[in-house]
Structures are given as C-alpha cells and as structure tokens.
Structure 1
Amino acid sequence: MAPYGTPENSQTAVVMVPLPAQGHLNQLLHLSRLLAAANLSVYYIGAATHVRQARLRVHGWNDSGTAAAAARIHFQEFETAPFQTPPPNPNSSNKFPDQLIPAITAAMSLRDPITAFVGRLSADFRRVVVIFDSLMSYVVQDLDSVSNAEAYCFRSVSAFTAYAIYWERRGMPAVAPGAEILREIPGSDGCFSPEFLEYTKHQQGAKKIFCADIYNSCNEIEGFFLDLLEKEKSTGADKVWPLGPFNPVSKLEPAGSACLEWLDRQEPDSVIFVSFGSTTSMSDEQIREIAAGLERSRQKFLWVLRDADKGDIFTGDVRKPDLPQGFEERTKKQGMIVRDWAPQLKILGHLSTGGFMSHCGWNSSIESISMGVPIVAWPMHSDQPRNAVLLTKVLRVGLEVRDWSSRDDIVGSDTVENVVMKLMACEEGNKIRKRARELGIKVRESTIVGGTSRTKMDAFIAHITR
C-alpha cells in the first residue's frame, strides 16, 4: 500500500482495545499498521502477556513502508487482575475455548486504567479515537467522560455473520431479497459455552457510547450484507466502515522458515495447508483420522499440528498431539508437519499453496480470501459455522467437510480423504480455485489507490482527523 496521510493527522491519537485472544489481537494490530501509515499515533493496549503475544506472532510486516508505520505504534501494557491459565480440553464435547475465559474476564479490570489513559492522551491530542473490540465494550463504557474522545466498535466477525446473528435475534423475520441464504445458516447451538455467554452479558449490558461499526471486510467480499447492516442500523450505529482486509496483501517475501523452504520445492497449487487456528484442540482420535485421510489422498500437505492457546501462552507445558506410528516417516516426501507457530500469511501467499483446510475463523478466512486460496471448511465454534456458509455457499470459494449438525461426530479418514481429493485433484476443485483466485485479485485491487477499500480507509482517516 502506498503511504498516505498528512502531518495534520498527528493531532489525532488512536487507541486500540483488543480482546485478549489471538484472532482478535491480530486483526487490530494489523489495523494499527494501516492507521499508523497515515501518520497517526496509535496506542495498542492490553495486559503485558497479550501485547507480547500479538507482537511475537504478527507477520507480513517486512517492507520498508511497514517499518516506518510500525514506529508510530506505541504498545501500552497494563496490569490486569490475576488469572488462571488452564490447558485446553481436547476431549470436550463443546469446542469453544473455555480455557481463555479467565484471561478474557480478567481484562474487564482494565476499565478504570483505560479511561484514565485516554484522559491523559486527551490533553496532548485534539482528538482521541478509541477502537475497541465489541467483546470489550464493558471496559470502554466510561469514555463519554473524556470530552474529545470518540469510540468506534470493531466487529471481529464477517458482516455476513453479524447480519445472521442480528436476523436470528429478531426472530428470523422475512428475509430481504437476495438474503435467502439466511434460511440455510445453522443457529447458535453448539457455538458457545455457558461461561462465554455469561461473559457476553457484561458486554451487552455496558453503556453504548460508540458512533460507528468497523469491519475487517470490503465490498468485494460481502458488500450486500454490509449495506444491510448499515441500512437496518443493526447495532444502533448510523455508520458502517468496512476497512479490510487489514492484513498485508502485497507479495510477501517467502523466506525465513523451514516450511517455506519446503514449499519452495513443490509445484504450484499442489499443497493443501491444514491449520485449525489458535483456539482448536483436537482429540487424539480425530488427529489419527486426519492423518490417515491426508496420507491416503496422496496429495501434498503442510499440516500445522499444535494445541490451542492458553490464556497466557508463555506459561506452563503445552500438549504435543500424537501422530500414528510411522506416519511422518511414511509421508516425508508427501507432506510436512509444523508443531510451532507458522507464518500463515506467507504460506497462503505462496505459489505452491492450492488449498486451505481451516476452522473458518474470520482472521484466517479473510487472509485466505485476500490471497486467493480456496478453503476446505471445518468450523469448530463461535462465528465459524456461519463463516463456512459464506465461504462455501455465498462466495463459493470452498467446500464443506461436514454439516454443522454432525459437529459432535468424529470426522472419519474417508471424509478427509474425499474432500481433499475433491479440492486438490478434481475438476470441481479447479473451478473453486479459479473463483478463489479471481476474488483474491479483486480484493487486493480494492486496497490500491482508487480501489473501494482504499477509498473507505481514506474517508475514515479524513473523518477521524476532521
């Protein structure tokens, strides 16, 4: 992205308030980079462990323009209430990552420190813009006490998912023309745990002081549903700002790790990337079935096999999932196992990557869309089942592994083998890959000068620096 912004922008400060979970931390850190490129001073805040986590894992920031922007991002660490860091439970009947609840709940103690911090900034800047995760509404509800502060709510999900939830809460009335797909979307059953729903009550009960919604999306992906959200004022806000994709979309330098070097030796579009994000913990039985299915498919694979995050990723032991005996030796020419944090953006942007077996978290989904890579959709919890419908039935850039109604069943190796073969070695997969590639081009073009996403970003910056 070409540099933009004016010296006058230095009169506005931006404060980012992310939820302390990887998919949320990462999206707002990428947005911080974009706003810092406009000569804005950005303050990214949170508990020390979560600020460290976000900085350690960010990738795609390897160009000179990004380096200059990064210098304008200030990381502000606060102490939160102490919290426990239980390990994830791979055998839980509900896949929601309840092990993160203590850390997320502890972040509610940031309410007074954040209000005080914004108050101090307000003395040095003409305007302080606070962009907060919708799941952190509780901690920013006192910002109306700062006269020159204004708040914007970041919705970490797709507009499609946000509208589906809004429609469901209204009792599923008659759908707008063009939105008939809503009738095929799975409900919220199995998406969340009781503990998380209890946490959300605090957020929903907080004072609503924000003036607009922000989405990590763009018109090329889901303009129809973005328009519906704004037209129907689904959250009470008058304005919707689609500023995505937040992640870098330019060609990334494919270097720096063994898995990228391995990809360099493979044929174009020949590898399926298998990764279920930072909140999925699979049972040993399910891992064995995936291994058998990948092996029998005879397709090249790059499999990130690691356990889900804890509330503090820097403490305690980490479970190392077991593979079938001899699997890695038998498949050493076919695939590669990665057990550490992987450079996902670079993998998705690599010419050898032809598919992505994913949990369909929005962070991963929009990265895959922007890189033009089709998805094998295997949702686990939260917004993921609805994102899977967007990917497979609306955008038609993916295939489903199974229906959400069968979420409690082990996915057998035959199913894994068949869906991998369908995407990677069949004509149907070639058509899906073509659509994904074309959509990726449109999304990337939207970020250049004159593109719809870039135009929205320029307008947003002009608005907050007015």
Structure 2
Amino acid sequence: MAQAERERLRVVMFPWLAHGHITPYLELARRLTLPTTTTSPIDVTVHLVSTPINLATIAHHETDRISLVPLHLPAVEDGDLPASLHTTRHLPPRLMPKLKRACDLAAAAFGAILDEISPDVVVYDFIQPWAPLEAEKRRIPAVHFSTCSAAATAFFAHGLLGERGAFPFDAISLGGDGEDARHVEITCRDDDDGEGVVAERDRLPLSLARSSEFVAVKTCDEIEQKYIDYLSNLIGKEIVPCGPLLVHDSGLESERVIRWLNGKETRSVVFVSFGTEYFMSEKQLSRMARGLELTGAKFLWVVRFPAAAEGSDGDGAVARAMPGWFTPSAEKGMVVEGWAPQRRVLGHRACGAFVTHCGWSSVVEAMAAGVPMVAMPLHIDQPINAGLAAELGVAARVVAPLGEEFEAEDVACAVSAVMTRSEEAEAMRRRARELREVVARRDADDAAQIGALVHRMARLCGKAVAVPN
C-alpha cells in the first residue's frame, strides 16, 4: 500500500501525574509510533498530556510522532500546591488529595486540548474517570489503559463492584474476605474531608465502565491469564494485554553505580529500592539498615525524600536521615539518593536479590532480569503484586502484618531465604530464569500485541475493520 493511502490515527494519552504511570504510557506511545510494517495500513501519532513539571523531565522523548502537551492545573484553596508540585514526584503525602482535586478541576482544560487536537482516540488513566466524558462530548472513543497488574485490577474491581463472596484466588488474597474488604476500604477511602470532585472508591469502577469496548493492560497473558479472564468477566469487556513495556535506562548518573557493581562477585549484591513515590520514615530507614546489616550481604540501597526534606548537598540528606551507627564501608554497601538505573542494576551479574515494594513495573522488571524478589509491599496494589510474584515462585515475602511496621529481623530472614544456597532459594532462582525468558521474549517480540491494540483503537473510530488474531 502506498504511503499516501495509509490511515492516520491520532491518539491523545492522559496518564496520572506520577512517574510510575507516565513512564508506561510513554513507552506504549513509543511502540505505537514506531515505523510500521509495509502491510500495516495505519500510522499512529501520539499527543501525551501532563503538567509542565512532568513534561520537563521527559522532553527529550518528543519526536515527530510523539508530542508533549501541557495541561495547566487550576489553583486550589490555601495556595500550598504550586506548579512545581503538580506531580507526585517529591510530593508530600499530605498534598496528594489536593493534587487529585486540582487534576479533577482541570476537566474543562483537558476538553479544550481535545478541541484543539481533534484526536481519533483518547487513552486515559483510572484516576481521571472524567476524561472519557470529555471525549464523549466530542464523540471521541476513549480507552482505559491500566499500568497496574491484571491481578490487582481484578482484586479491586471485585471489591468495589460489590461482587458477592470472597475473591476467588487464594494465592493473592490478603487473608480472607474480611482482610480483602478492609484493604479495599482503606485504599479507596477519601482523605479530603468529602470535598473531592470524584470519590476515591468510584475512580476505578467508573474508568473501567466508561472504557470503549475494551481495557488495555500492561501485562502478559503468560503470567496473568486467569486474572485477565476474571477481570474480563467482571466488567464484561475484552482485556487487551500490551506486554511488559520495559523501558531502557539511560543517563550518566548511572555510571557510578555500575562501576561499583562491576567490582562485586556474581549474585552477591542485594538491591533495595521502593519506587519513585514512597518515602521511608526514620524508623523504617533504621530498621532496613539493621536488617541489611544482619544479612551480612553487600547491598545497593536507593532512598528518596519528599520535596520539603531535600537537601542541596546531595548525599548530605542521606547522611542526616540514616541512623548514626550505620556506616557501611564503600566495599560493603552503597546508598544512593533519589535514583539509580533500576533495569541496568537488575540485569547486572552482581545482582542476586531485589528488595522491592512490588510496584508493578518493578515486579515486571525483576522478572525480565531473572532476579528473585524480597517482597515488602506497602500499600495500594503492592500487596496483590507481591502475592502474584510469590505465586509465580519468584519472591519471598517479608513476614509482617499488612499496614504494620516491618522488623529488621524479618528483612534479614527474607533476604537470607533468597540469597542462600538452599533448595528453596535454588528453586526460586531457577523459576526466575524461566520467567526471564517468557517476559523478555514477549517484550522483544511485541509486534502482534501492539498491532492488535492499534487495530482495536482504529476500529473504534471506523478506521479499520479486521482485528488480527
């Protein structure tokens, strides 16, 4: 087919204002806009919408097929949410309700963006269930793309949609019907004194209900088929897996970390990181430090602080936050503030275990690297992801009641269970290697799943008829 005859599909993407959501959306945009094969009749362009503070960090990803579109949030009461905090990155937890409210109040501004771009399809996140309504006003189909696991989405959908009976998958249940319901209630409670534009417990159900014909999910059917099927049955819509959507690390900041790892023995280092959005308390920092010390293993530990706690002297903030007795030698351990090249670390021969909060991207990246996990879930979808990783045979869980503080001894015990030469640890490493082949292969060979997504979106707006199998 000649280039002039190819259909063009204009897509507006609107992720939640968090790095952990923007990154998968941006990676999906990159893959959707890669040069298509000569047999494909559709060319895709993407307009990714976010706040200026978020777009500044990804400006280098803009191409002739991916444009970045600023969304200016309205001012909220009290004036303590400046434009520099229109992102969850370094956002103090107390301001999260205000950020959600400000985003909700930007519905009209988002609608104006749609008027200007006139896209064929809108792809939106679950925090913004009003986005498909703005699209519907303009007769534009809208699709929910979930950056969470199918298991976690199904877990919360089961609880929020009022399904009778217990969640039917014991392996990722949090301890029975009562505990599951309690976790859903705590996660989805309103923290804004009832002044929110959208009730927290309504965000996910409305986003799923308003998605046109299908829901796209960052996952692979090889690792989540039964949860994909259950979610589809719950909401009465097709679930379209988009693959792991692994992102390649880059940046000069990573070289110091990699040089340190290069001097370590194979599988001798414990990598500790709790994602881009979580900030440990002083008590948690102290207990983690003690737990790592008890293991006797070498470690690479990434720590983060909210904006109010950031220091201008780099590692000085780390030194002030750590307990005074914690002074590991350069040979024994490295503590990094803010960021480390997670995929490069996980893929390094020296990495033997990953202590993780079990955010979905971190779980997928660990599986893609074949690194066993020490699961320390904190909140939201993380306990369900931890259960899934354990069910798949690639994680040991820190034994601590959900919502309660972990103990240093619990950390040391779980790390030792992964790092030793016991039969259980060897079985976990073997299973991790097996999953590495599955996840890495699905990520590299993504033409079919991305092509299927393109054709489904095109069909929504009358630009394609057939959907490839």
1: CA distance between counterparts of 2:335 and 2:59? 24
Matches within 5 A, 1:277-292: 277-292=275-290
Q: Deviations over 1:349-399 (max 9, x none)?
A: 22221211111111222222222222111111111111111111x212101
Q: Which runs of 5+ in 1 are unaligned?
A: 1-5, 57-66, 89-95
Residues 48-447 of structure 1: matches in 2 within 5 Å? 48-54=52-58, 70-82=63-75, 84-85=80-81, 97-122=93-118, 128-147=120-139, 149-169=140-160, 170-173=162-165, 179-181=169-171, 183-185=173-175, 186-187=179-180, 188-189=182-183, 190-192=186-188, 194-195=190-191, 199-200=199-200, 203=203, 208=210, 210-230=212-232, 232=233, 234-236=234-236, 238-248=237-247, 256-308=254-306, 320=318, 322-325=321-324, 327-328=326-327, 330-392=328-390, 394-405=391-402, 407-409=403-405, 411-427=406-422, 428-447=424-443
Report the CA distance shift for 1:193/1:464 in structure 2 as closer, same or farther (over 3 A). Answer: closer
Q: Is the 8 A contact 1:9 1:40 kept in 2?
A: no
Distance 1:33 1:302 in 2: 31
- Kindly indicate whether the alpha-carbon contact (under 8 Å) linking 1:33 and 1:70 is maintained by their aligned counterparts in 2: no
- Normalized against structure 2, the TM-score is what? 0.80
For the 8 Å contact 2:305–2:338, the answer to whether it is kept is no
Instruction: Select the residue among 35, 44, 48 that pairs with 1:44.
Output: 48
Matches within 5 A, 1:21-32: 21-32=18-29
Check 1:102–1:304 CA distance in 2 against 1; reply closer, same or farther (3 A cut): same
Percent of aligned pairs sharing the same letter: 26
Deviation at 1:454? 3.8
Q: Report how many aligned residue pairs link the two structures.
A: 423
**How much has 1:17 moved relative to structure 2?**
0.4
- Does the 8 A contact of 1:44 with 1:75 survive in 2? yes
After superposition, the Cα gap between the structure-2 partners of 1:212 and 1:200, relative to the gap in structure 1 and judged at 3 Å, is same
| Contact 2:250/2:341 (<8 A) preserved | no
Instruction: Please list the CA deviations of residues 429-451 of structure 1 after superposition, one character each: whole Å capped at 9, or x if unmatched.
Output: 232122112101111112344xx
Whose relative contact order is higher, 1 or 2, with alpha carbons under 8 Å and at least 6 apart?
1
8 Å Cα contact 2:243/2:449 also seen in 1:
no
Counterparts in 2 of 1:255 and 1:340: CA distance versus 1, 3 Å: closer
Amino acid at match of 1:157: C
* Secondary structure, aligned partner of 1:332: coil
Residue by residue, what CA displacement relative to the aligned partner does 1:174-203 show, whole Å, maximum 9, x if unpaired?
766xx3435555524344553179542563
Distance 1:184 1:285 in 2: 25
Name which of 430, 441, 457 aligns with 2:450: 457
Q: CA RMSD in A?
A: 3.3
Whether the 8 Å CA contact 1:138–1:202 is kept in 2: the answer is no
> Partners in 2 of 1:277 and 1:380 — Cα distance?
11
Instruction: Give deviations 1:313-358, integer Å, cap 9, x for gaps.
Output: 999x996562122533x33211111012222122222222121111
Tell me, yes or no, if the aligned pair for 1:129 and 1:151 is still in contact at 8 Å: yes
Aligned residue type for 1:42: V
Contact 2:244–2:442 (CA under 8 A) maintained in structure 1: no
Paired letter, 2:56: R
